[in-house]
Amino acid sequence: MLILASNSPRRKELLALAGWAYMICSAHVDEQVQPVELPEAYVRRLAESKARAALSERCSASAGAETWIVAADTTVVSYSGAPGAYEILGKPTDAQDAERMLRLLRGRVHQVLTGLALLCVNDGRLLTDVCSTDVPMRDYTDAEIAAYIASGDPMDKAGAYAIQHDGFKPIEHLHGCYANVMGLPLCLLSRLLTQAGVHHQPGALVQTELARSCQQALDYICPVFHLYQ
């Protein structure tokens, strides 16, 4: 049994592709970046914090044996020309902030990081990992930015965009994990579950089948899924 520590429609959609039975236990934590915290450490810490927050909720009290909490945190990292200079972009605070982020990312390559945490309800075992994808944004126009912000879609997205948005279409090509940019790298999650010794449920997809299902659902030929076999 899995508990998804998120109410994100995108994460629920992706996890459903794997065929796992799961319940939802949304966890809310302080997402403030700590001083001099590196991006990878940031998403790993928040994923673990979300998993532990979900463990304290009543929904985990009724969980059976070998129940694992799945938690994830996704952020966008924009690097400047200066060595070691970067900005972690969370969800925009308002339309003006969304416009700032979209202008910052336009025509450049940025990084999307997702921290994953698996926490065993029974004995507190914890596994974490981080998936990284380089995302090249197209040179969209100011008018496209305005129309996209007016749609309201950017406001609950890290970096103020959704890679899968049919109207905006922020990227032209990608050479990494598409599901990671959406918020839940399925192949990495499957590998973590295997490392945890979690047995496949009846009807759940094994690794190769999962990669195929993910690519079909997202209409994307993934060049990196074999790295997680």
For 128-150, write each residue's pLDDT tens digit.
999 999 999 999 999 999 999 99
For the ranges 58-72, 112-126, 145-159, 210-224, the lowest mean pLDDT is seen at 58-72
Residue 205 is predicted with a pLDDT of 76
- pLDDT for residue 103 is more than 60: yes
For the domain that residue 119 is a member of, what is the CATH number?
Answer: 3.90.950.10
Q: Domains in the chain: how many in total?
A: 1
- pLDDT for residue 178 is more than 80: yes
Residue 58 is predicted with a pLDDT of 59
Residue 219 is predicted with a pLDDT of 93
Angle at 4 between CA 153 and CA 119, to 5 degrees: 135
219: helix, strand or coil:
coil
Residue 63 is predicted with a pLDDT of 59
Q: Which one of the listed residues 73, 134, 142, 166 is annotated catalytic?
A: 73
* Segments forming the whole domain that contains residue 67: 2-90+113-136+179-228
Decide if 183 is inside a domain.
yes
Decide if 143 is inside a domain.
no
73 is known as an active-site residue: yes
Instruction: Give the closest residue to 90 by CA, choosing from 156, 180, 164.
Output: 156
Decide if 169 is inside a domain.
no
Q: Give the residue-averaged pLDDT of 74-80.
A: 94
Asked if residues 50 and 5 have their Cβ atoms less than 8 Å apart, the reply is yes
- pLDDT for residue 84 is more than 90: no
Residue 207 is predicted with a pLDDT of 78
Confidence of residue 65 (pLDDT cuts 50, 70, 90): low
Asked if residues 121 and 130 have their Cβ atoms less than 8 Å apart, the reply is no
Residue 197 is predicted with a pLDDT of 86
Residue 228 is predicted with a pLDDT of 84
Q: How far is CA 73 from CA 128, 139, 160, 190, in A?
A: 11, 27, 15, 17
Decide if 19 is inside a domain.
yes
Decide if 99 is inside a domain.
no
- The helix, strand and coil proportions of the chain, stated in percent and rounded to the nearest 5, come to 40, 20, 40
Confidence of residue 204 (pLDDT cuts 50, 70, 90): confident
Decide if 171 is inside a domain.
no
Give me the helix-helix angle, 186-195 and 9-17, nearest 10°: 60
Percent with pLDDT over 90 in the chain: 74
